Structure 1
């Protein structure tokens, strides 16, 4: 549970209330999971999950292996039946509705293209099965290949395409039947990093053009944050938190969510002062007091965790003159140079190791800091999230 969110989140939520249906109490969910549970023997793959997804959303189920995200997707597709609970799509209860009668289509990680068919016949396959006329099939396939920029490859076979091109063909085949919901199971997992990053934006653009509701499963936090309007973070069959990428990153409700999305330093401490305008958390881990610029609404003596993102921390070789709060001495132990970014692992005098990231905004002959440099780690009083679980 989040102990303190601060005024910034309330202002941000107020600003987007009108444009985001999940903030509108009168909005009707397009997809609804009501207390859905799925058991395999005595194992709970999904445990009492309730979730609303709205029309035209690109929604991501994010989590590690075995967290239940794929099982949830398969139940939505009709490949698995819930052990308990209900699933609704566009107001219709999906209980007992087979996959081929649901207004959904699924795009698998393997793409599952027919190797003996050309690109255009792969895309047209489902339309032939459903008995569409030749003229309509021809028009729909042509429109879809144009949308995914694969028209000039229409006669090629899958083995003559790159991984990114096969991914586009699979997407076209999934969308050509105009499903109300497209389900994507690790859709970009087979692509290399650069192509994956490029394709993320292409998928978002296609989704925005068509207005189809996308529900995506992924273990890749960057992929989810780049593409999704909202994300559900899952672990052990339950949803830990639902929110926009901004909300989850800036205002995690637990150490699990803070640690799963991005990099974070988690510092344990005890609340010793909680005023209306500030709070002080004493930490043996970090070797001193951490000052927070707002109340955390907790009881003094409560154990809390301070979440510090590496990019919010700053390094300097001299103790700042204005270092009244949140300033700790240490020594650089490890350095990671990533071109646009450098990451420093600093061993504080308390013995805690803390990670600091700095953008390389200028070209230097040498790194700003090197191994064994004595440094000061500082951060602003409003940079931290305070968690109680």
Structure 2
């Protein structure tokens, strides 16, 4: 690659991933934000930058602080300490109705006595816009969310997915700088939720509005967000793109929260420049890692292995003494496209393996009580020290 092409590639990355560009200016900034309710820290000294046009997700379980952070951004709660900036403006003392934000709630909160177009137009009428301008804005927004032909219907005549689109149109029609989404797809069934995830992403790309979303659904966050902040007990445990969080978790908490994982405890016995060897009583053997882990010998570590990175064999591999564990199939789950196997290792440790069903079989590849070998490549594991 030429120097010019390389420079352009770096510029493209900085444009699409401004968080990797040290010169990029954050659109939303939380500076050491804390929120206490009595003696309880709902949010504890959080600093976070969100960039213009991002679809950003705050992800975590109940009580982790994600909704409190969103409510402080909206102006429904005031920080106990710290500052929040939107587009360079300090939001201290700015009431919710004067902030350049709008919120879409999980319940949608549509007016039942109004039609679809009346619901979408409500905020514009409150702002005193001319009727002709309101008609144009509402028409354009209903077209964007593919609800034009339902304009005269009332909320009770719509499906859950259609109500969700109306709520989105009403939130976007006033052209806020930031749209806040509080569990936006929580009321939808699984299949519709999956379909709507991509629709929301496409709409966000078209309008260019910065979206900040709160969700407890890891799949939803991974599918939709440009970046995710994983929260727990009022702090951000890890921040990154879906790829970074899944492939390079910084702790057992993040590894366990995002996707399925086998966490195997071990002790570092050899740490070379190009490889490491970890002894694990859980695994009942030695685990080989294809890079240095930069720890001291005897240190306790955890190996994170995603189930889809493991393979099952009926015969012991002859080409390696590492990353090869013997056990017995204890449980099987057939999920159509995938089969899940729970294997009880000879050490007594239970490990989960998933395999794609890429072709039709007359019978399952493995059945209960089968003796198998669980193996994986040296680069498949993440090594965690916390």
Question: TM-score scaled to structure 1, two decimals?
Answer: 0.96
Query: 1:320: Cα distance to partner?
Result: 1.7
**Are 1:146 and 2:118 an aligned pair?**
no
**Are 1:331 and 2:328 an aligned pair?**
yes
Query: 1:323: Cα distance to partner?
Result: 3.0
Supply the distance in 2 between the matched residues of 1:19 and 1:52 (Cα, whole angstroms).
15
**Are 1:33 and 2:30 an aligned pair?**
yes
Supply the distance in 1 between the matched residues of 2:304 and 2:67 (Cα, whole angstroms).
29
Deviations 1:105-155 (A, max 9, x none): 000000000000000000000000011000010000000000000000000
Supply the distance in 2 between the matched residues of 1:29 and 1:377 (Cα, whole angstroms).
46
Task: Note closer, same or farther for the CA distance 1:238–1:323 as it changes in structure 2 (3 Å cut).
Answer: same
Task: Note closer, same or farther for the CA distance 1:231–1:13 as it changes in structure 2 (3 Å cut).
Answer: farther
Equivalenced residue count is 378
Query: Partner of 1:367 in structure 2?
Result: 364
Query: 1:14: Cα distance to partner?
Result: 11
Task: Note closer, same or farther for the CA distance 1:86–1:140 as it changes in structure 2 (3 Å cut).
Answer: same
Aligned with 2:161 (options 160, 164, 168)? 164
Query: Partner of 1:215 in structure 2?
Result: 212
**Pairs within 5 Å for 1:42-81:** 42-81=39-78
Query: Partner of 1:109 in structure 2?
Result: 106
**Are 1:299 and 2:296 an aligned pair?**
yes
2:123 alignment partner, SS class: helix
Query: Partner of 1:308 in structure 2?
Result: 305
Query: Partner of 2:180 in structure 1?
Result: 183
Query: Partner of 1:125 in structure 2?
Result: 122
Supply the distance in 2 between the matched residues of 1:27 and 1:316 (Cα, whole angstroms).
50
Unaligned runs of 5+ in 1: 1-11
Greater relative CO (CA pairs within 8 A, separation 6+): 1
2:380 alignment partner, SS class: coil
Query: Partner of 1:5 in structure 2?
Result: none
**Pairs within 5 Å for 1:207-286:** 207-286=204-283
Query: Partner of 2:193 in structure 1?
Result: 196
**Are 1:96 and 2:93 an aligned pair?**
yes
Deviations 1:233-264 (A, max 9, x none): 00000000000000000000000000000000
**Root-mean-square deviation (CA), in Å?**
1.3
Where in structure 1 do 4 or more consecutive aligned residues deviate above 2 Å? 12-19
Task: Note closer, same or farther for the CA distance 1:55–1:17 as it changes in structure 2 (3 Å cut).
Answer: closer
Supply the distance in 1 between the matched residues of 2:253 and 2:74 (Cα, whole angstroms).
28
Task: Note closer, same or farther for the CA distance 1:141–1:257 as it changes in structure 2 (3 Å cut).
Answer: same
Query: 1:188: Cα distance to partner?
Result: 0.2
**Pairs within 5 Å for 1:316-327:** 316-327=313-324
**Are 1:385 and 2:382 an aligned pair?**
yes
Unaligned runs of 5+ in 2: 1-8
Query: Partner of 2:19 in structure 1?
Result: 22
Supply the distance in 2 between the matched residues of 1:17 and 1:337 (Cα, whole angstroms).
43
Query: 1:223: Cα distance to partner?
Result: 0.2
Deviations 1:10-68 (A, max 9, x none): xx999945631001111000000000000000000000000000000000000000000
Question: TM-score scaled to structure 2, two decimals?
Answer: 0.97
Query: Partner of 1:206 in structure 2?
Result: 203
